[in-house]
Amino acid sequence: MDLTLADFVLFVLLGVFVLVPFLAVVSRTLHARAEKRSLANRVICRLCLHAFEDASHVKTVDCPICGATNEKGRSRRLG
Ligand SMILES: [Zn+2]
């Protein structure tokens, strides 16, 4: 099989057309995963609506502002 320059360019173009959407999907997936993880740790106080992050694995967490106990993982998605 002899590879001409035109074939080579075609292969490169095909590779780019395959690679770019692939990379876009990968980066989007990674971004979504990071966002999901930060959302999972995000707690929004049901009393004062203060949003804070809590990386511990307890089910309830106390608000640092008003001290109200909030259930994790049930916070509404704001934005
Ligand atoms: Zn609060």
Would you state the structure tokens that stand for residue 3, as one six-digit string?
């590879």
* Distance from residue 27's CA to the centre of ligand 1 (Å): 35
| Domain spans in the chain, listed from the N-terminal domain onward | 5-71
Q: How many CB atoms lie within 10 A of CB 63?
A: 20
* Distance from residue 54's CA to the centre of ligand 1 (Å): 13
CA distance 37 to 45: 18
* Distance from residue 47's CA to the centre of ligand 1 (Å): 5
pLDDT above 90 coverage of the chain, percent = 59
pLDDT confidence of residue 79: 46
* Distance from residue 59's CA to the centre of ligand 1 (Å): 16
* Distance from residue 77's CA to the centre of ligand 1 (Å): 17
pLDDT confidence of residue 2: 77
pLDDT confidence of residue 76: 52
CA distance 31 to 55: 18
For 6-25, write each residue's pLDDT tens digit: 999 999 999 999 999 999 99
Low-confidence ranges of the chain (pLDDT < 50): 75, 79
Q: What is the DSSP letter of 30?
A: H
